[in-house]
Amino acid sequence: MIKEEQLAKVMTLKDILFKLETNQPFALTRWGDGEWYNIRKLKGANCDGNIYYPDLGDALKEIVSVKQDYILGAQDYKTFNLDSDVEKYYQDWIDADIFHKASMQGNLQPLIETLKNKYVTYIGNQDLKKLSFVTEFITIPQNNVWLQREALLNLVRSTFDDKQKVYCFSAGMATNVFIHELWKENKTNTYIDVGSVFDPYVGKATRGYHKSLNLNKWK
């Protein structure tokens, strides 16, 4: 049984910014109820309309069952009353909601400013192309990109070059598999699952807390 203190390794937004600013490559994936539902082989879809695919669940379980050499974030399931199987899997879990909590507290600007000084390749739906820090954009379908996983992975691989890039993913539950595969192949880049954190900054309220954000200063 994993002790509770193992589920709360301290890593702050400041730590993430330091890694970015000092060009230390890393990978960060986030594990919430959708990922666990996939692993449990539930039928249906998450709040974004992404279907729970059995083979995606198999891939996610294979990843989380082995101690990884990159950062895995567990969603704060006790606070938000979410289903989670995090205690079944031994990883150096950190808080998966670092970026979301920073957004809620009005503290996301340092991340945005840091990304503006990087070569950022963003993988997400077309609306996110508006973000000011994006250097290169890879457009994916609104839902169920898992069905196009090989094509997407090959497209991302085609952007590898001698630049040290930061890859930001807003690609649903399949993101964890994409980042896992890309990190294994190329550890000179950084790969971050940013989830839906930037949606409200392009006019999309896809999570409950998005509607309560004060975005006037971002306009």
The whole-number pLDDT of residue 7 equals 44
Question: Could you tell me what percent of the chain has a pLDDT over 90?
Answer: 70
Give the whole-angstrom CA distance, residue 152 versus residue 139: 9
Give φ, ψ of 195 to 5 degrees: 55, -135
Dihedral sign for Cα atoms in the order 167, 178, 34, 67: negative
Give the whole-angstrom CA distance, residue 139 versus residue 125: 5
Helices 175-185 & 54-64 angle (0-180, nearest 10): 50
Express each pLDDT in 69-108 by its tens digit. Answer: 999 999 876 666 567 888 899 999 999 989 988 888 888 9
Residue given tokens 């094509």 in the structure block: 151
Per-residue confidence band for 8, with pLDDT thresholds at 50, 70 and 90: very low
Asked if 124 and 170 touch (Cβ cutoff 8 Å), the reply is yes
To the nearest 10°, the Cα dihedral for 183, 186, 187, 193? -40
Residue given tokens 């990190």 in the structure block: 183
Asked if 218 and 201 touch (Cβ cutoff 8 Å), the reply is yes
To the nearest 10°, the Cα dihedral for 138, 144, 146, 150? -50
Express each pLDDT in 121-142 by its tens digit. Answer: 999 999 999 999 999 999 999 8
The whole-number pLDDT of residue 201 equals 79
Per residue in 150-183, is it b (16+ CB within 10 Å) or e — as a string?
Answer: eebeeebeeeeeeeebbbbbbbbbbbbbbbbbbb
Per-residue confidence band for 1, with pLDDT thresholds at 50, 70 and 90: very low
**pLDDT exceeds 50 at position 3:** no
- List the structure tokens of 75: 């969603």
